[in-house]
Amino acid sequence: MSDSKIADERALSQVSVSPVESEVIHETTMAGIFNNKDEKYTDDTASVQAGVLRAEILKAAWSKKALIIAFSGLFLCTLISNFSDYSAQVYVAYATSSFKQHSAMTTAKVVSNIARICTYPIIAKLGDVFGRAEMFVFSITIEVIGYALFAGCQDIGQYFAAAIFDAIGDTGFALTQQVFIADATNLINRGFWSTLPDSITTIPTLYLGTIVGGSVLEHSTWRWGYGMWAIILPFCAVPLVTTMFILQRRAMKNGLAKTAISTITGCDKNDSPWKKAYQLLWVQLDLMGGFLLVAGLSLFLIPLSLTGSSNSTGWGEPSFIAMLVLGVVVLVIFAVWEAKFAQKPFIPYYMVKNRTVAAACLLGALDFVHYAVFSVFFPSYLQVVGGFSPAKSTRIDNSLRVAFQVSGLFVSVFMKYSKRSQVWVLIGVPMCVLGQGIVVYLIDMGDGRSGNEASFVAAKSLIGIGRGFYQTAAQVSVQAVVPKQDVAVATAVFFASMSIGSAVGTSIAGAIWQSKLPGKLKQYLPSSAKNQAAAIFKSIVTAQKYAKGTAERVAIDRSYRESQRLLAIAGVAALAPMLILMWFLKNVHLDEETDKNVPDNEKNETRK
């Protein structure tokens, strides 16, 4: 860190600053934002939106004590958010059943998934315009409204509305968390801090959340199970939000960047309300781009999501094909708008051409295609073929997630001392492929045998470790090769690519399962039970009614093994291209500042 930067931060830590000192700090900090030590804040700031500048102001105002309080508050919020998510999963079946709409569980999942994917770029844009503290407040408020709606909903329509609010709030908090950490940390430590909050909170809440959910149902109702989080969550958010607003207000009160922010918004006090509305909505928020993005993603994802495990025959419906094609057309129009017309685009054109960003997004998308295509029916396979209980099947499947969270911490430490990112991608991706290859063998070992609990946990953990290695390194790489102005958008695109991959994988899994399992049941079942093939296909409860060792159960197990093996092979096929894509990521040197890793021509592209 340069002496001037140290001096700036020490100056900003003081409660009172003289007007002359404030102007000096203002100019020096603006120069630091753009890595330009020789020039003062000038026209370059026209490319930086107010929320990004406020993040820089906030970072400059940190003291050690404030940073500890803020991160403690962030950990607490993350813990409560994860706890509420995992416990709420227990209530879904009971809530939908109370409206006599149990089958609507799948529709609720589709609605939430689409809302989450569309939320990533929107929240990133809002955060760049308004600020990180404001986005924490917005996201937590929306999530609280969602839980309140869950608790008070009277029909399935209101339940879907609550699901949308919850998805937006949860996704907004998760993204703002990662962007805030990127703002507050340097590249060397970013991997560790971006992984730590979720790692230390997900593992206990993954198991304790379901226990708490079950206990609530036993002693109360699902409505209180949702409603209690509307009380707990805002209370636990107070330390984080209060600290950020106090520091942001202190910096502003001392005069820092007051002129800069008014310049960035492009509005003077005397401007008409119409001009201010135009500048905010059309330029800063890119309202047209947002509409095209949400419309295109929704049209594209609805048919993919609705042709998953519960409606694999949907591709025969013309409306599904029409929505998919129209979605692609709207997304193409969105790309043209962003490249040619948008003054403050959601996704800068240079970012699309950046090989590291593109490769990282493709890695994430393909990995989640693999995960979704294999995992949709894996718990059913474990219960029918393996004879595992629902709880044990869930624990086996969750072993990947636990391994991912733990390995992410380790690789972030490795990155800190190696000061390189790509090597961990090169190690992680082959581990994912190897783990999934082992799973292919374990699914159907021949002679009616399949893997035991320990072998499945080991294989899934290997995949999780590989994901932790490559994903942590890839996220840091993506954030390192873009200017600070675009860190939020780049992170959002990286996360959204994984969700889109998951939607695609779910659709592929449904198509394979629907086309293969019924035929195999009819082929292998004894003549006396062939008329039960459709009932067995539709319900694992029916499949499990046949005793182990009977001819019917042997045929059922064989059908499940061979069908799930095809899904496992499809997972390997999705992972295979990652062995090539991993070489396209830039080997980021973590001693360097983010902007220094961006070629000048690319930085200039973002400021047009």
Closest to 404 (Cα-Cα) out of 382, 375, 431: 431
Averaged pLDDT, 258-285: 64
Q: Of the ranges 297-306, 435-444, 493-502, 506-515, which is most confident?
A: 435-444
**Torsion-angle region of 266 (φ positive above 0: left; ψ -120 to 50: alpha; else: beta):** left
Under the banding of pLDDT at 50, 70 and 90, the label for residue 140 is very high
- Say how many residues make up the chain: 608
Domains 67-247 and 348-506+567-587 share a fold: yes
Closest to 242 (Cα-Cα) out of 118, 101, 76: 76
Given 3-state DSSP classes, what are the helix, strand and coil percentages for the chain, each rounded to the nearest 5?
80, 0, 20
Least confident of 91-105, 175-189, 358-372: 91-105
Task: Quote the radius of gyration of the chain (alpha carbons, Å).
Answer: 26
Distance in angstroms (rounded) separating the CA atoms of residues 205 and 212:
9
Q: Of the ranges 201-210, 396-405, 585-594, which is most confident?
A: 396-405
In the numeric block, the tokens 């924490």 are attached to 136
Decide: 363 and 474 in contact? Cβ < 8 Å. yes
pLDDT at 29 exceeding the cut of 70? no
Averaged pLDDT, 392-417: 87
Distance in angstroms (rounded) separating the CA atoms of residues 549 and 107:
37
Q: How far is CA 391 from the centre of its chain?
A: 25
How crowded is the C-beta side of 392, counted as CA atoms within 13 Å? Answer: 12
More confident residue, 31 or 458: 458
The residue ranges of DSSP E strands in 350-463, in sequence order, are none
pLDDT at 55: 67
In the numeric block, the tokens 């049941």 are attached to 521
pLDDT at 606 exceeding the cut of 70? no
pLDDT at 502: 85
Averaged pLDDT, 29-48: 40
pLDDT at 26: 39
pLDDT at 599 exceeding the cut of 60? no
Distance in angstroms (rounded) separating the CA atoms of residues 479 and 261:
24
In the numeric block, the tokens 């042709």 are attached to 307
- Per CATH, the homologous superfamily of domain 348-506+567-587 is MFS general substrate transporter like domains (1.20.1250.20)
Q: Of the ranges 57-61, 261-265, 284-288, 374-378, which is most confident?
A: 374-378
pLDDT at 165 exceeding the cut of 70? yes
- 67-247 CATH fold: Growth Hormone; Chain: A; (1.20.1250)
pLDDT at 259: 43
pLDDT at 88: 83
pLDDT at 569: 95
Under the banding of pLDDT at 50, 70 and 90, the label for residue 234 is very high
Decide: 585 and 474 in contact? Cβ < 8 Å. yes
Averaged pLDDT, 36-64: 55
Give the tens place of pLDDT for each residue, 575-584.
999 999 999 9
Please state the domain extents for the chain.
3-47, 67-247, 287-342, 348-506+567-587, 516-566
Give the tens place of pLDDT for each residue, 279-322.
777 777 788 888 888 888 888 877 766 665 555 556 667 887 88
Query: Three-state DSSP class for 97?
Result: helix
Q: How far is CA 245 from CA 49, 231, 248, 268, in A?
A: 18, 21, 5, 24
Least confident of 190-204, 253-267, 424-438: 253-267
Q: How far is CA 257 from CA 25, 30, 200, 243, 270, in A?
A: 9, 8, 37, 20, 20
More confident residue, 285 or 266: 285
Decide: 51 and 129 in contact? Cβ < 8 Å. yes
Distance in angstroms (rounded) separating the CA atoms of residues 189 and 75:
17
The one-character DSSP state at 89 is T
Q: Of the ranges 41-45, 211-215, 343-347, which is most confident?
A: 211-215
Averaged pLDDT, 204-222: 83
pLDDT at 168: 92
The percent of residues above 90 in pLDDT, for the chain, comes to 26
Task: At 286, list the tokens.
Answer: 């890119």
The overall average pLDDT reported for the chain is: 79
Averaged pLDDT, 149-172: 90
pLDDT at 329 exceeding the cut of 70? yes
pLDDT at 145 exceeding the cut of 70? yes
Element (H, E) at 216: helix 187-219
pLDDT at 404: 92
pLDDT at 104: 57
Averaged pLDDT, 148-159: 90
Q: What is the 3-class SS of 495-543, one letter each residue?
A: HHHHHHHHHHHHHHHHHHHHHHHHHHHHHHCCHHHHHHHHHHHHCHHHH
Under the banding of pLDDT at 50, 70 and 90, the label for residue 9 is very low
pLDDT at 254 exceeding the cut of 50? yes
Query: Three-state DSSP class for 309?
Result: coil
Give the tens place of pLDDT for each residue, 173-205.
999 998 888 888 888 888 888 888 888 888 888
